[in-house]
Structure 1
């Protein structure tokens, strides 16, 4: 993986002198309540993408972000990366990868802010690709994108560190 990440970052650097926005999403969502619900290879893949891959990609694109006049790192973490979150059907490997991603975002926000690099993290619950955008409906991908666009459009002195979302409150039967 490190070789492919370095090659990708080199390819980006060959096309542009700077990068304004890096969006990190990382881990592929997998379901499973119990550790044995998925294969060892699936666990390794989710952890590698969500933790190692995110860190390496950020590391190797950081010079291009530093060359930008308005650099932002946007982290699509997940509510699964919040301490105490237990409402998703995601596999424990996904939870672990997203906690690693949240930890990386936290320290990068602190360390890169003096350079003017904003680190913005989103913690959405499980969401749907499409649907009505109403208070009684699940969060949609479009709503998450709108939050990202809002955050990166803010003036440079505005550091929005996190977006935390509430899940739909379903009536109890």
Structure 2
């Protein structure tokens, strides 16, 4: 049974990822900023017959990441990130960049020894089209763009350096998407479709290194 850590698993896309990985037979480590949010996800996973545990983790807090204790990990899904738009305070900007950029790097480095010990590890990054060069279609705050560019840059170099070790680093660059909706041509991208892409990528044979998913914009 693979052990999968999912950040931002307390709601929305992170919660969908947790449910999907558990349904595929994985043990899910559902992390969130609050115990209540993480435990709600775990309860849903267990109600569906899956295996999961709740962990409180604040990606904007280096101390929280440093305190993370795990015995095993096969897949890290960096999905937790604060979306920011409109007017933002300095604290909002720092929290957004700290969580998505610094938090992704610190957490990945923290669990890298466990991933190296795994027989087939993956690091999945839900970046955003806002992290693509020249992209400006999202209404997100510039700080969100900055955070996602940093996340994308970290993932790119990490992919090149870890591939010789057999560790895959997979990044997704979806446009702004909706949680629910018709999954048909012309409709906005849904979270379920993003989740399906993640499971497809990690489900490929180990000779298949999918570095990134880039999505067509509407």
Asked if TM exceeds 0.5, the reply is yes
Aligned to 2:78: 24
Q: Deviations over 1:55-77 (max 9, x none)?
A: 00000010111111110000000
Select the structure with the greater relative contact order (CA < 8 A; seq sep ≥ 6).
Answer: 1
- 1:158 and 1:59 mapped to 2: Cα distance? 23
CA contact (8 A) 1:139 1:167 kept: no
Aligned to 2:140: 90
- 2:79 and 2:154 mapped to 1: Cα distance? 12
Q: How far is 1:133 from its partner?
A: 0.4
Aligned to 1:171: none
Corresponding residue pairs, total: 158
Task: Provide structure 2 residue ranges, at least 5 long, that are not aligned to the other structure.
Answer: 1-60
Higher strand share: 2
TM-score w.r.t. length of structure 1? 0.89
Aligned to 2:99: 49
Task: Provide structure 1 residue ranges, at least 5 long, that are not aligned to the other structure.
Answer: 169-173
Instruction: Tell whether 2:212 aligns with 1:162.
Output: yes
Q: How far is 1:27 from its partner?
A: 2.6
Aligned to 2:181: 131
SS at match of 1:122: strand
SS at match of 1:121: strand
The runs of at least 4 aligned residues of structure 1 exceeding 2 Å deviation read none
TM-score w.r.t. length of structure 2? 0.71
Q: How far is 1:22 from its partner?
A: 0.2
Q: Deviations over 1:64-119 (max 9, x none)?
A: 11111110000000000000111000000000000000000000000000000000
Q: How does 1:3-152 map to 2 (within 5 A)?
A: 3-8=63-68, 10=69, 12-13=70-71, 18-32=72-86, 37-152=87-202
Aligned to 2:33: none
Which structure has the bigger radius of gyration? 1
Q: How far is 1:166 from its partner?
A: 1.1
SS at match of 2:188: coil
Cα RMSD, aligned residues only: 0.9
